[in-house]
């Protein structure tokens, strides 16, 4: 009876941990937005995309944007025609991109911003920064959003987590799952049971890291 109560409490705690992890994963990795270089800007509402309080984009009108960053505030106007888009910044600089489906290229057919990035060490770092913003503004203009992770990864994390919890609560059943028929007396020793439970705890932690978005964000950060 006492073991049953303990298992019930552990199951409730495990379920709460899974719910919190799934909600955290949704909030941090499944919400839509756009990348600007390696920084992700979440779509807060129809007009605002926010990385943090000092780095965000506001859509002033269909073709006008305000960029607020650590280096200051500026505006960008997007002028379009049949084949090209011209991004005009408030400091007078401009960049022209040519439509290639959902992508942009420069006048020579190179990926948009490629030359600016290659030359970013020779007094063109501002232009490279501008090019990165232009690519993201084009995605916003098209309504093409992305996310840090995808829901199947969260589902995989949940499966990993459940398998870990099962090993903690039912080490014998978890260890002999799908292979019980091979043994005449399928039962672990006390040492084997403790080892199975320790492995279950480790597997559960991995599941939480995947569900909560911590692992995808770390992979995204270091990739």
Q: How many CB atoms lie within 10 A of CB 90?
A: 12
Mean model confidence pLDDT for the chain: 86
pLDDT of residue 128: 62
Name the band, by pLDDT with cuts 50, 70 and 90, for residue 125: low
Give the CA distances from residue 182 to residues 136, 176, 177, 191, in Å, rounded to whole numbers and listed in that order: 57, 9, 11, 21
pLDDT of residue 175: 77
What pLDDT does residue 181 have?
Answer: 61
- For residue 90, give Cα distances in angstroms to 57, 79, 87, 94, 128: 14, 14, 10, 9, 16
What pLDDT is recorded for position 68? 93
Q: pLDDT tens digit string along 32-68?
A: 999 998 899 999 999 999 999 999 999 999 999 999 9
CA atoms within 13 A on the CB side of 74: 19
Confidence class of residue 127 from pLDDT cuts 50, 70 and 90?
A: low
Token pair belonging to 157: 């994390």
Q: What is the enclosing helix (H) or strand (E) of 20? A: helix 2-25
């Amino acid at each position: 009876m006492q073991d049953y109560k303990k298992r019930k409490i552990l199951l409730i705690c495990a379920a709460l941990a899974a719910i919190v992890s799934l909600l955290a994963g949704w909030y941090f990795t499944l919400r839509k937005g756009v990348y600007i270089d390696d920084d992700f800007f979440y779509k807060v509402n129809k007009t605002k995309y926010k990385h943090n309080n000092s780095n965000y984009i506001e859509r002033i009108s269909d073709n006008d944007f305000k960029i607020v960053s650590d280096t200051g505030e500026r505006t960008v106007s997007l002028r379009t025609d049949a084949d090209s888009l011209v991004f005009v910044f408030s400091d007078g600089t401009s960049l022209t991109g040519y439509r290639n489906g959902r992508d942009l290229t420069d006048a020579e057919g190179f990926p948009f911003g490629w030359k600016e990035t290659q030359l970013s060490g020779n007094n063109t770092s501002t232009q490279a920064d501008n090019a990165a913003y232009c690519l993201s503004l084009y995605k916003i203009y098209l309504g093409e959003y992305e996310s840090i992770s995808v829901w199947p990864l969260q589902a995989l994390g949940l499966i990993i987590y459940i398998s870990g919890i099962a090993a903690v609560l039912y080490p014998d059943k978890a260890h002999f799952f799908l292979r019980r028929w091979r043994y005449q007396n399928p039962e672990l020793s006390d040492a084997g049971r403790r080892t199975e439970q320790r492995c279950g705890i480790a597997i559960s932690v991995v599941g939480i890291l995947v569900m909560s978005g911590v692992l995808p964000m770390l992979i995204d950060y270091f990739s």
